[in-house]
Amino acid sequence: MSISSRPSKNSNFIYKMIVTVFVLIVIVAGMAYILKTKDNYIDKTNQKLSEQSRVAVSFISLSDFADVFSEDSSISNRAHSRLESELIYFAKSIDEVRYVYIEEVVGEESRIIADSTSNNPIQVTSFSDDNFLTNAFLASDFILPQTQIEGPFESTTRKGDRYMRVTTPIESSLASGGKLNLVFEYASEAYYGEINEHVFHAIIMVACVLILALILVWFVFKNLALAERNRSIKAREKLINAIFQRSPIGVALMYEDRIVTGVNPAFESILDRTETELKEITWDDLTFADDHDAERLLIEKFRSREIDEYEIEKRFVRPNGEEIWCRVSIIRFELSNRNDLTHLCLIQNINQRRSAERALKESERSKSVLLSHLPGMAYRCDNDSDWTMRFVSEGCRELTGYNSEELINNFSLSFNDLIVPEYQGVLRKEWDRVLALHVPFHAEYEILTKLGSRKWVLEMGQGIYDDSDEVIALEGIIIDMTARKKQEERIRYLNDHDFLTGLYNRQFFEKEKMRMDKLKYMPLTFMICDINGLRLINDAFGQNVGDTVIIETARFLEQYCSKNGLIARTGGNEFSMLLPNTSLEEAHALCTKIQSNIEMRNQTIGEMTFDMSVSIGYSTRVSHATSFSDIIREATEYMYKRKLLDRKSSHSAIVSSIMTTLYERSQETKNHAIRLAEISKAIARRFNLSQSSLDDLELFAMLHDIGKVGIDDRILNKPGKLDDDEWKIMKKHPEIGYRIAMSTPDLERIADYILSHHERWDGKGYPRGLKGDEIPLPARILAVADTYDAMIEDRVYRKGVHRDEAIEEILRNRGSQFDPEVADLFVEALQEYEQSNM
């Protein structure tokens, strides 16, 4: 709360400066407004005159300009008359125009061709005695610009009058090189009349605003004077009242042991009682019982006038029973005109200070407990060469293996003896640096434990300085960070290595590629290897099996990388090698060796392991004349060419492996597939299908359930009925089979058959719910043959049915589950199949 007896001289000066600046701003703003108004109306007048000139130009006949300069005087005179008629019309139709003419300017000289004051024919004269009209002119030689205005407007004196001149150029092809201009002259009074009128209005408006501003200033100064007088009257009253009301110290006037009057808000707040309540109770009633004796002796001395004042820290009791610590000051206070006052009582709430003191004691206790349980070692040491320890927490033993007593005062060894030698000098320099800068210390280094092992530690500390800024001690904490260092090493490893194969990753490969881009590594061979058929394996067996193939391939290729070379996994199924000092011939030999050893490996592996198939491309950089990107592109293109050549054979080998795996995992047998193929072909022949279609049908019959390789064995071979969740999984096998077929060049043509082989004639099949002829014919044929063979074959969970019963079941479902025509032809085809296999 700010209180003063009168405004200061600085305040008055500031007010006057503000008012002066305000008036100046009004004046400057008014002048700016007047000038802006003038400029705006000048622009509007200029725009108006320019527009009139452009309109006039658009009405002038271009052919008249050509005729004026004709060698035929009759034509020239008629054209001249027409031009002057038009100019006279312009002068009369525009009120402000006093004179209109067309001038020709050659160099610094000009002449008037036609004007609005005469009808004389044009007189062709020369400039500097040279005839400049040497050719006949056509209308096309004169061009009237639509928007160009030669300016600015110019003012001059002609016959004692002021006038304005608006010039519009007419572009032409005169032999003289001269220029034609259409010129309007306006009286200055007409030009400036409207402008001056609006400027006068602006001046009147600014004057009014200035007068209002001055009136406002007068009122402001009047109010300031009145306010100053009021402040002077009330200042002292406010000062005294403010001190009394706002003081954080409680004030009360007392007589003996009772409060009489003069209780301020702070006194009431501290004791949580109103003035009325305080007057009704004694001093002893307010005091905490245990503190009565401490003050009684002081009270007796005060009453006996041995002392005139005293101070004491004691507790008071609030109405809710809460204790509150206060500093109490009793001062003798007597007035000649009053005999009901003996002393002034001042009380100050020190509850927070007392709480802080208790908290500090508790903090010291907690700190002691905390230090004993810290994960690291807290310390206080001297700033000497041995780091002589004066205090070490209990964490010392866990961190170093030594008891704290062995380190304190260098009893058995100094802390410097624990620091690995290569770090000792570095730490000394770092401590000297941070102490000079008065900043915290932070360092990571290794120590030797009592067992001889090395540990990484993190030390955080700071210097303790005396009043003369001298270092008297060092304090801090040392934490074991060996585990974190190992984690950092792991992160650094993963940052440069592929997590699946352990080979280097693309990021590290790119860095090494730049590092090896030097002549000493040339010839530098780049080799790229891509696994064939990985997508097919992933679709058939899942990501885990695909990852196994990637790992096996990585291990195989790694052994062919030279010691000073680099192999990295640079894509999902892609590996790249950098082979320094390796020629193109050596690269070719290495590629041949890898492919040869892959073939040998495939011949010796078991049936449950997939054949390895890798396409390899390579290229060699022998100088900086060829860019690295060109080498990579060349090797990649070569690899893709090899991939196209190897694709069919590699995919066929993988499909064979898939079928072998399927037969071993499920109840499906190769004989079942062969029977389906024969029965299906017997049915298909009755549809007169081509031999090519019969071959596709046979392949389809052999591979129709290839998608089951992606179904879990527990579901595939479950003896009982599948539950809803298991059935949902089982129904996915046509889609899995479709993806496998689409991944294999030789199977793409039967992929749609595999996807549709569980569709029903009535549309209740899966996965797409196809109906009737929407289902491919081979899928409709196989549905009948597969159902028949499944019914007559024995299963783990049931015996097969008789042939006739199976046929009857198929005929019963013709038109619902099966194509009626296929079902009917099936009976004949079955007889043919049975006769051929008797």
**Collapsed DSSP state (helix, strand, coil) of residue 316:** strand
Residue 525 and residue 641 in one domain:
yes
Instruction: List all residues 6 or more positions away from 165 whose beta carbon is below 8 Å from its beta carbon.
Output: 153, 154, 155, 156, 183, 184, 185, 186
Q: What is the pLDDT of residues 455-495, one digit of tens each?
A: 999 999 999 999 899 999 999 999 999 888 888 888 888 88
- Tell me how many domains the chain contains: 5
113 near 68, Cβ under 8 Å? yes
The DSSP output letter for 691 is: H
Q: Is the pLDDT of residue 143 over 70?
A: no
Angle CA 285–288–289, to nearest 5: 85
Residue 10 has a pLDDT of 65
Residue 279 has a pLDDT of 86
Which tokens in the block code for residue 503? 């080979």
188 near 164, Cβ under 8 Å? yes
Kindly write down the DSSP assignment for every residue of 707-741, as one continuous string.
Answer: GGGGS-HHHHT-SS---HHHHHHHTTHHHHHHHHH
> Is it true that the peptide bond before 523 is cis, omega within 30 degrees of 0?
yes
**If pLDDT is split at 50, 70 and 90, which confidence band does 832 have?**
confident
Hey, which residues does 115 pair with through a beta bridge? 101
68 near 122, Cβ under 8 Å? yes
Check residue 367 and give left, alpha or beta (phi > 0: left; psi -120 to 50: alpha). alpha
Residue 444 has a pLDDT of 93
Half-sphere exposure of 439 (CA within 13 A, CB side): 7
Q: Is the pLDDT of residue 120 over 50?
A: no
Residue 560 and residue 572 in one domain:
yes
326 near 313, Cβ under 8 Å? yes
Q: What is the pLDDT of residues 582-606, one digit of tens each?
A: 999 999 999 999 999 988 888 887 6
**If pLDDT is split at 50, 70 and 90, which confidence band does 9 have?**
low
Q: Is the pLDDT of residue 206 over 60?
A: yes
* DSSP count for the chain of H helices, then E strands: 28, 21
| Residue 35 forms part of a structural domain | yes
The DSSP output letter for 338 is: B
Q: Is the pLDDT of residue 439 over 90?
A: yes
Q: Do strands 504-505 and 471-480 pair parallel, antiparallel, or not at all (unpaired)?
A: unpaired
Question: CA–CA separation, 327 vs 220, rounded Å?
Answer: 50
Which tokens in the block code for residue 21? 């600046």
Half-sphere exposure of 162 (CA within 13 A, CB side): 9
| Residue 366 forms part of a structural domain | no
172 near 144, Cβ under 8 Å? no
Question: CA–CA separation, 129 vs 254, rounded Å?
Answer: 125
| Residue 263 forms part of a structural domain | yes
- 72 vs 66, 77, 180, 213, 760, CA distance in Å? 11, 9, 21, 75, 102
> Mapped to the 3 state alphabet, what secondary structure does 135-146 carry?
CCCCHHHEECCC
Sheet holding 250-255, edge to edge: 258-261, 250-255, 343-349, 323-332, 309-317
Question: CA–CA separation, 380 vs 409, rounded Å?
Answer: 11
Q: Is the pLDDT of residue 796 over 80?
A: no
- 834 vs 675, 678, 698, 810, CA distance in Å? 11, 10, 18, 17
Q: Is the pLDDT of residue 242 over 60?
A: yes
Which tokens in the block code for residue 210? 């200035």
- What are the contacts of 116-122 at 24+ separation with CB within 8 A? 116/84, 116/87, 116/88, 116/90, 116/91, 118/84, 119/81, 119/84, 119/85, 120/80, 121/73, 121/76, 121/77, 121/80, 121/81, 122/68, 122/76, 122/77, 122/80
Instruction: List all residues 6 or more positions away from 715 whose beta carbon is below 8 Å from its beta carbon.
Output: 722, 726, 729, 730
Half-sphere exposure of 825 (CA within 13 A, CB side): 18
Q: Is the pLDDT of residue 785 over 80?
A: yes
Using the 3D structure, point to which of 619, 654, 689 is the last residue of a domain. 654
Residue 669 has a pLDDT of 60
Residue 208 has a pLDDT of 86
Q: Is the pLDDT of residue 133 over 60?
A: no
Q: Do strands 504-505 and 566-569 pair parallel, antiparallel, or not at all (unpaired)?
A: parallel
Residue 473 and residue 515 in one domain:
no
Instruction: List all residues 6 or more positions away from 523 whose beta carbon is below 8 Å from its beta carbon.
Output: 581, 582, 583, 584, 620, 621, 622
Question: CA–CA separation, 298 vs 330, rounded Å?
Answer: 10
Which tokens in the block code for residue 223? 């109010």
Residue 63 and residue 102 in one domain:
yes
Using the 3D structure, point to which of 601, 625, 654 is the last residue of a domain. 654
Half-sphere exposure of 755 (CA within 13 A, CB side): 19
Q: Is the pLDDT of residue 215 over 50?
A: yes
Residue 704 and residue 831 in one domain:
yes
| Residue 364 forms part of a structural domain | no
Residue 175 has a pLDDT of 53
701 near 675, Cβ under 8 Å? no
Answering whether pTM is above 0.85, one says no
Residue 149 has a pLDDT of 38
| Residue 192 forms part of a structural domain | yes
148 near 169, Cβ under 8 Å? yes
Q: Is the pLDDT of residue 731 over 60?
A: yes
Question: CA–CA separation, 297 vs 295, rounded Å?
Answer: 6
| Residue 367 forms part of a structural domain | no
CATH (domain of 642): 3.30.70.270
Instruction: List all residues 6 or more positions away from 222 whose beta carbon is below 8 Å from its beta carbon.
Output: none
Helix (H) or strand (E) holding 187: strand 179-187
Q: Is the pLDDT of residue 216 over 50?
A: yes
**If pLDDT is split at 50, 70 and 90, which confidence band does 261 have?**
confident
Question: CA–CA separation, 560 vs 495, rounded Å?
Answer: 24
Using the 3D structure, point to which of 487, 518, 543 is the last residue of a domain. 487
| Average of per-residue pLDDT across 688-713 | 83
Q: Is the pLDDT of residue 26 over 50?
A: yes
Choice among 244-248, 251-255, 664-668 with the minimum mean pLDDT: 664-668
| Residue 269 forms part of a structural domain | yes
Residue 27 and residue 174 in one domain:
yes
Q: What is the pLDDT of residues 281-298, one digit of tens each?
A: 888 888 998 888 888 888
55 near 100, Cβ under 8 Å? no
3-state helix, strand, coil split of the chain in percent (to 5) is: 55, 20, 25
Residue 782 and residue 633 in one domain:
no
Q: Is the pLDDT of residue 219 over 60?
A: yes
Q: Which residue type sits at 690?
A: S
| Residue 363 forms part of a structural domain | no
Residue 797 has a pLDDT of 60
Kindly write down the DSSP assignment for every residue of 214-244, as one continuous string.
Answer: HHHHHHHHHHHHHHHHHHHHHHHHHHHHHHH
Residue 540 and residue 404 in one domain:
no
Question: CA–CA separation, 617 vs 574, rounded Å?
Answer: 11
Half-sphere exposure of 403 (CA within 13 A, CB side): 4
Question: CA–CA separation, 639 vs 527, rounded Å?
Answer: 9
Question: CA–CA separation, 281 vs 167, rounded Å?
Answer: 105
Residue 791 and residue 649 in one domain:
no
Residue 32 structural domain: 1-245
Question: CA–CA separation, 450 vs 428, rounded Å?
Answer: 23
The DSSP output letter for 771 is: -
Residue 596 and residue 694 in one domain:
no
Instruction: List all residues 6 or more positions away from 198 whose beta carbon is below 8 Å from its beta carbon.
Output: 37, 38, 41
Considering only CA atoms, give the Rg of the chain: 55
Which tokens in the block code for residue 591? 């590629």
Q: Do strands 258-261 and 250-255 pair parallel, antiparallel, or not at all (unpaired)?
A: antiparallel
CATH (domain of 467): 3.30.450.20
Residue 469 and residue 544 in one domain:
no
Residue 42 and residue 175 in one domain:
yes
185 near 102, Cβ under 8 Å? no
Longest dimension (CA), the chain: 147
Residue 8 has a pLDDT of 53
